[in-house]
Amino acid sequence: MGAKEQSPMSSVPEETLIVVKPDGVRRGLVGEILRRFEAKGFSVTRVQMLTMTKAQAEEFYSVHRKKQFFGELVSFITSGPVVGMVLTGRDAVATVRRMVGATKSWEAAAGTIRGDYGLGLTDNTIHASDSQESFAREQKTFFGK
C-beta closer to ligand CMP: residue 11 or 103? 103
Rounded distance between C-alpha atoms, residue 115 and residue 100, angstroms: 8
Rounded distance between C-alpha atoms, residue 46 and residue 15, angstroms: 10
Among 18, 127, 129, 141, which one carries the catalytic annotation? 127
Binding mask 62-81 for ligand CMP (x = CB under 6 A): --x----x---x--------
Q: Which span (31-39, 45-53, 86-94, 116-124) binds ligand CMP, by CB under 6 A?
A: 116-124
**Sheet of strand 126-128: strand arrangement:** 43-50, 82-90, 13-20, 126-128
Q: Does 108 bind ligand CMP (CB under 6 A)?
A: no
CA neighbours closer than 13 Å in the CB half-sphere of residue 116: 10
Out of 124, 129, 139, 141, point to the residue binding ligand CMP (CB under 6 A): 124
Give, in degrees to the nearest 5, the angle at Cα 67 between 77 and 134: 65
Active-site residue flag, 127:
yes
Q: Does 45 bind ligand CMP (CB under 6 A)?
A: no
Rounded distance between C-alpha atoms, residue 3 and residue 39, angstroms: 28
Q: Does 102 bind ligand CMP (CB under 6 A)?
A: no
Q: Does 106 bind ligand CMP (CB under 6 A)?
A: no
* DSSP notation for 65-120: TTSTTHHHHHHHHTSS-EEEEEEEEETHHHHHHHHH--SSGGGSPBTBHHHHH---
Q: Does 125 bind ligand CMP (CB under 6 A)?
A: no
Q: Does 127 bind ligand CMP (CB under 6 A)?
A: yes
Binding stretches for ligand CMP (CB under 6 A): 64, 69, 73, 103, 121-122, 124, 127
Q: Which residues are the active-site residues?
A: 127
